[in-house]
């Protein structure tokens, strides 16, 4: 699964794997792909440094990258406390009532929420970069549009390529104008924040819009034939995230959540604003249903919604309250039916890719030329 981009980066397969788990990122790189560690959950620089130390030591000398979330435009003088103060009491009461209706216990006294949306705030993302640029990262990806111009310049000064996710050709053109090196065409099927255009339509649109910049296809990809289809559409590789959630190296800290993922079908996800305030594809649960119910107060805009539900999400996860328990995941969840190692996933991808190429060659009358 080689392309011009994979050869440029020195990786065996044009598979870029986004994950919040250092062990998964390291395993992706060792398997010949490009592991990309998600930084959004690291609010303390020391924690990110610890995990980058581990990743650097376990990637087998292979390249890896970092994914941050930061807006292109800076908002001056706004603190987390300022944002918290904007949350209406009606919404706080709705959270309390929903948790109480499902018997979700409180956190222990003095126990802090394990999940915060502060990683979406620019000042936090900048501290993450201060740490990351001390490591030999090969790629900096941003999930919230193009990074600020000074960040792009800072990366380029260190020979670090910059990638940005796009849900439309219009967004992709803005990335090109901002000096981005790689555009990730993230289709409607993808887990997490997505637009409304499917990968099959979006990928060739973005390839044409930003030519000659390389494009990675994302969303609904989890098999070798789908990788082959992405390259056929003009992509230089694929960006996979959801597929790694049920690998043996992943650390979800929740057997109940793993069971739900393994049991879910491709129709068991929903694009909901319940987690962050922006549409994000995730498992459909009674939690997402409550927020999407017209009888409720409705979700708040980002980052208010994320701050509002942070403690609630931590409680739901800690006590594994299954009716409410979910996670961002794409429609590819229907293929995630067994726990496998990252290497086993790669073996399946490469075998399926080879078979798909052979099949196309046979159809085209070029048997044996794969």
Phi and psi at residue 137, to the nearest 5°: -70, 145
Decide: 152 and 146 in contact? Cβ < 8 Å.
Answer: yes
CA distance 282 to 327: 5
Q: In 154-248, where do the E strands start and end?
A: 161-166, 182-186, 192-193, 215-218, 237-240
Decide: 34 and 16 in contact? Cβ < 8 Å.
Answer: yes
Label residue 36 exposed, middle or buried (CB < 10 Å: 0-12, 13-18, 19+). buried
Q: What is the DSSP string of 41-74?
A: T--SHHHHHHHHHHHHHHSTT--EEEEE---SS-
Q: How confident is the model over 248-277, as pLDDT tens digits?
A: 999 988 999 999 999 999 999 999 999 989
Does the N-terminal peptide bond of residue 212 adopt cis geometry, omega within 30 degrees of 0? yes
Give the contacts of 58 (CB within 8 A, at least 6 positions apart). 22, 23, 26, 30
Decide: 33 and 346 in contact? Cβ < 8 Å.
Answer: yes
Label residue 367 exposed, middle or buried (CB < 10 Å: 0-12, 13-18, 19+). exposed
What count of residues does the chain have? Answer: 370
- Report in angstroms the alpha-carbon separations of 210 from 19, 86, 129, 239, 246: 26, 39, 26, 17, 34
Per-residue tokens: 245: 């959630």
pLDDT tens track of the chain, all 370 residues? 899 999 999 999 999 999 999 999 999 999 999 999 999 888 889 999 999 999 999 999 999 999 998 765 555 556 667 778 899 999 999 999 999 999 999 988 877 665 555 545 677 888 999 999 999 999 999 987 888 999 999 999 999 999 999 999 999 999 999 999 999 999 999 999 999 999 999 999 999 999 999 999 999 999 999 999 999 999 999 999 999 999 999 998 899 999 999 999 999 999 999 998 999 999 999 999 999 999 999 999 988 898 899 899 999 999 999 999 999 999 999 999 999 999 999 999 999 999 999 999 999 887 655 4
Per-residue tokens: 366: 């070029």
Indicate the Cα dihedral angle 90, 93, 95, 99, nearest 10°.
-160
Selection from 201, 231, 139, 215 nearest residue 173 by Cα = 215
Enter the pTM of the model.
0.93
- Report in angstroms the alpha-carbon separations of 264 from 102, 215, 282, 327, 330: 22, 30, 11, 12, 11
Which residues on neighbouring strands pair with residue 166, listed in sequence order? 185
Starting from the edge strand earliest in sequence, which strands make up the sheet with 192-193, in order? 192-193, 280-283, 269-272
């Amino acid at each position: 699964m080689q392309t011009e981009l994979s050869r440029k980066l020195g990786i065996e397969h044009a598979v870029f794997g986004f994950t919040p788990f250092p062990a998964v990122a390291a395993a992706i790189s060792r398997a010949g792909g490009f592991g990309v560690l998600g930084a959004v959950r690291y609010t303390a620089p020391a924690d990110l440094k610890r995990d980058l130390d581990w990743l650097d030591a376990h990637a087998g000398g292979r390249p890896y990258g970092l994914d941050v979330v930061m807006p292109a435009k800076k908002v001056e003088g706004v603190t987390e406390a300022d944002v918290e103060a904007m949350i209406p009491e009606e919404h706080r009461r709705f959270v309390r009532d929903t948790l109480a209706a499902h018997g979700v216990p409180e956190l222990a006294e003095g126990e802090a929420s394990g999940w915060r949306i502060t990683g979406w705030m620019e000042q936090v993302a900048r501290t993450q970069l201060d740490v990351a640029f001390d490591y030999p990262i090969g790629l900096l990806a941003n999930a919230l549009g193009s990074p600020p111009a000074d960040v792009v310049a800072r990366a380029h000064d260190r020979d670090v390529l910059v990638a940005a996710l796009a849900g439309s050709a219009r967004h992709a053109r803005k990335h090109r104008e901002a000096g981005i090196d790689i555009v990730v065409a993230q289709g409607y099927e993808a887990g997490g924040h997505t637009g409304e255009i499917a990968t099959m339509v979006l990928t060739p649109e973005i390839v044409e819009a930003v030519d000659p910049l390389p494009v990675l296809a994302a969303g609904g990809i989890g098999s070798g034939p789908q990788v082959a289809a992405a390259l056929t559409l003009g992509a230089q590789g694929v960006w996979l995230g959801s597929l790694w959630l049920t690998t043996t190296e992943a650390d979800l800290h929740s057997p109940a959540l793993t069971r739900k993922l393994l049991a879910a079908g491709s129709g068991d996800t929903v694009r909901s604003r319940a987690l962050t305030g922006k549409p994000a594809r995730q498992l459909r649960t009674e939690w997402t249903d409550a927020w999407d119910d017209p009888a409720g107060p409705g979700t708040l805009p980002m980052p208010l919604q994320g701050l509002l539900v942070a403690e609630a999400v931590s409680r739901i996860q800690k006590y594994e309250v299954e009716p409410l328990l979910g996670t961002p995941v794409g429609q590819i969840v229907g293929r995630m039916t067994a726990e496998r190692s990252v290497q086993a996933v790669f073996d399946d991808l490469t075998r399926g890719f080879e078979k798909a190429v052979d099949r196309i060659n046979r159809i085209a009358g070029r048997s044996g030329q794969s």
